[in-house]
Amino acid sequence: DVVMTQSPLSLPVTLGQAASISCKSSQSLVHIDGNTYLNWFHQRPGQSPRRLIYKVSNRDSGVPDRFSGSGSGTDFTLKISRVEAEDVGVYYCMQGTQWPPWTFGQGTKVEIK
């Protein structure tokens, strides 16, 4: 199984400042079809997760452009250019290249300082 490792697990941020979350996979996430199936999700307290980014860097409809995804192979990053209050919650990376199983990172809790 592909193990997904996120860091940090806790990220206190100042409003308006940038934030960055790392996600590393134990194996390359490049699929034989040439795509890299790495997703990012955001879960606010008491809510269902919401997909933010798919295939490394594609933002979902309605996701602010302050969110961006990057990376390749085994190293991936989610960046928030200017953190807003609504960005608090837990962020998860997830791979869909080598399945089953689909595997998630442990989650990174973002909170406002």
Which of 16, 101 has the CB closer to another protein? 101
Integer distance in angstroms from the first to the last C-alpha of the chain?
A: 36
Per-residue x/- track, 30-49, another protein (CB under 8 A): ---------x-x------xx
Please give the size of the binding site for another protein, defined by CB under 8 A. Answer: 23
Q: Read off the tokens for 98.
A: 């080598």
Residue selected from 106, 111, 112, 113 as contacting another protein according to rule CB under 8 A? 106
Q: Read off the tokens for 95.
A: 């791979």
Measured over all CA atoms, what is the biggest interatomic distance in the chain, rounded to whole angstroms? Answer: 43
SS3 59: strand
Where do contacts with another protein occur on this chain (CB under 8 A)? Answer: 39, 41, 48-51, 54-55, 58, 60, 90, 92, 94, 96, 99-107
